[in-house]
Structure 1
């Protein structure tokens, strides 16, 4: 099994929500999050799941789990094909459970992505 490759998604409104989230993080949090993504890409998803760096939230919807002190960041992502994964957006977690609105938002971005892919393939 090939190791995963993550990339963020530029929406139809020209916003890349994960990059925008990432850029506003404090330096320590930003470094930790990007290092974690690179580690997951190098170590693979099985190791990441065992280490609890990732967690399944729903059918084809997962979260990357980063923490620096009391700051907890999450990047939600989904599987596209082979070893390709799209990070929909990120947020700072303030509760134990992943907020339903964040899951809903990730599903909306995922639906937009697939609709866009379908439209491009039909042109």
Structure 2
């Protein structure tokens, strides 16, 4: 799921098709095998331990594409299926260094808080 679907679509449109395809494939991989396994493979890393914000990492064709996301324990109060969690992508961006920009992390934290307050 996406916090802002139009923003995410614009991000994908800004990437070369091969890179955008890898972003989508990586999202599917996280959904299929989970955060722990993708962290072990260094495809995902936790960028904020207190707020549980994760970074999906794609490095290809000289482009460092990132999507920040959080795990929603339950999609709704009636849902008991924790084995199949929901992930919410808060924001996506390209970067040139290995460090996550603080403004992007702050944006992800704020969006996570807003999302949870709306529920």
- Give TM-score scaled by structure 2 length: 0.82
* Corresponding residue number in structure 2 for 1:61: 53
Deviation per CA, 1:71-110, whole angstroms, max 9, x where unpaired? 0100000111131110001000112210101100111111
* Corresponding residue number in structure 2 for 1:75: 67
Contact 1:73 1:92 in 2 (8 A): yes
| Match status 1:9 vs 2:3 | yes
Number of equivalences: 107
Matches within 5 A, 1:93-112: 93-112=95-114
- Runs (4+) off by over 4 Å: none
Aligned-partner Cα distance in 2 for 1:34–1:76: 14
Contact 1:21 1:89 in 2 (8 A): no
Across the aligned residues of Structure 1 and Structure 2, the Cα RMSD in angstroms comes to 1.5
Shift of residue 70 of structure 1? 1.1
Deviation per CA, 1:43-64, whole angstroms, max 9, x where unpaired? 2222201110100011210100
* Corresponding residue number in structure 1 for 2:116: 114
Aligned-partner Cα distance in 2 for 1:49–1:19: 25
- Structure 2: stretches of 5+ with no match in the other structure: 74-81
